[in-house]
């Protein structure tokens, strides 16, 4: 049977939507500099004034404070498109957009695997989302086709270290399990699937391990 966790992901993130921002910030208590890593991923896309960027798995808009800086790069003539699977998460994102008066942010509720990327976009970013998607290679493929030449796709996500630190998984598991990261998902090794998908599409691909190998940024330039 093909691994399919969509129902569990929807249920989990509907439940956690209102408090997601607070619970995500708690990772700072264990030295996981989540804001810093998000900023690294955003900056890696290298957007310019007037650009259009797609964020896959935008969630509650937790990146949007960073996207204020990003928005300053794309400017009022640019556009930010946020895509997410879960209605409750997008409702929180919508509240954030309305609060800040961002007129050039479009929010779309859709399974990322069926999302029709606009052609000729200037950047794609996703943070802590694609490892939850069984067909992540489909998203990478579709995103690659939609990018303009010399434009970038940046993925920030979790992984297991390739050394002895992987033995710490029983200790790490309670910190990520509330976000639908299960033993079954980890056994699929989505970070390896991501690397394979990126290397098969992008001639120019960079990979940076973060936090002792428990996270990474993958960057592809078309």
pTM value is 0.94
Domain residue ranges in the chain: 6-110+117-221
- Report the b/e string of 157-174 with b at 16+ CB within 10 A: bbbbbeeeeeeeeeebee
Name the 3-class secondary structure at 2: coil
- The Cα–Cα gap between 95 and 125 comes to 21
Say yes or no to pLDDT of 162 above 70: yes
Lowest-pLDDT choice from 25-29, 200-204, 217-221: 25-29
Mean pLDDT of 19-32: 91
pLDDT score of 75: 74
Say yes or no to pLDDT of 2 above 60: no
pLDDT score of 3: 63
Question: What are the CA-CA distances from residue 61 to residues 64, 92, 194, 196 (Å)?
Answer: 5, 7, 23, 28
Tell me the pLDDT of the chain averaged across its residues: 92
36 or 70, which is more confident? 36
In this structure, are strands 121-127 and 204-210 parallel, antiparallel, or unpaired? unpaired
Residues 6+ apart with CB under 8 A from 194: 130, 131, 136, 140, 155, 157, 218
User: Does the 6-110+117-221 domain belong in CATH 3.40.640.10?
Assistant: no
What own/partner pairs with CB < 8 Å and gap ≥ 24 does 64-68 have?
A: 64/93, 64/96, 64/97, 64/100, 64/102, 64/105, 66/35, 66/38, 66/39, 66/42, 67/42, 67/105, 68/100
- Residues listed for the chain: 222
pLDDT score of 63: 85
Mean pLDDT of 183-190: 93
The pLDDT tens digits of the residues spanning 3-17 come to: 678 889 999 999 999
Tokens of 114: 């069926």
Q: Count helices and strands (H / E) in the chain.
A: 9, 7
Tokens of 182: 């299960």
Say yes or no to pLDDT of 1 above 50: no
């Amino acid at each position: 049977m093909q691994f399919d966790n969509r129902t569990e992901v929807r249920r989990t993130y509907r439940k956690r939507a209102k408090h997601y921002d607070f619970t995500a910030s708690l990772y700072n208590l264990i030295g996981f500099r989540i804001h810093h890593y998000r900023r690294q991923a955003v900056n890696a896309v290298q957007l310019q004034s007037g650009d259009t960027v797609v964020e896959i798995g935008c969630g509650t808009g937790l990146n949007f404070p960073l996207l204020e800086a990003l928005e300053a790069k794309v400017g009022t003539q640019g556009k930010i498109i946020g895509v997410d699977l879960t209605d409750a998460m997008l409702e929180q994102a919508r509240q954030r957009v309305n609060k800040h008066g961002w007129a050039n942010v479009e929010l779309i509720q859709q399974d990322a695997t069926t999302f029709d990327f606009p052609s000729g976009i200037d950047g794609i970013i996703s943070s802590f989302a694609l490892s939850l998607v069984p067909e992540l290679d489909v998203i990478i493929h579709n995103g690659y086709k939609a990018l303009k030449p010399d434009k970038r796709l940046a993925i920030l996500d979790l992984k297991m270290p390739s050394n002895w630190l992987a033995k710490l998984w029983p200790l790490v598991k309670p910190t990520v399990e509330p976000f639908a990261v299960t033993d079954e998902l980890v056994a699929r090794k989505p970070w390896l699937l991501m690397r394979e998908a990126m290397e098969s599409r992008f001639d120019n691909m960079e990979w940076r391990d973060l936090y002792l190998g428990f996270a990474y940024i993958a960057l592809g330039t078309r």
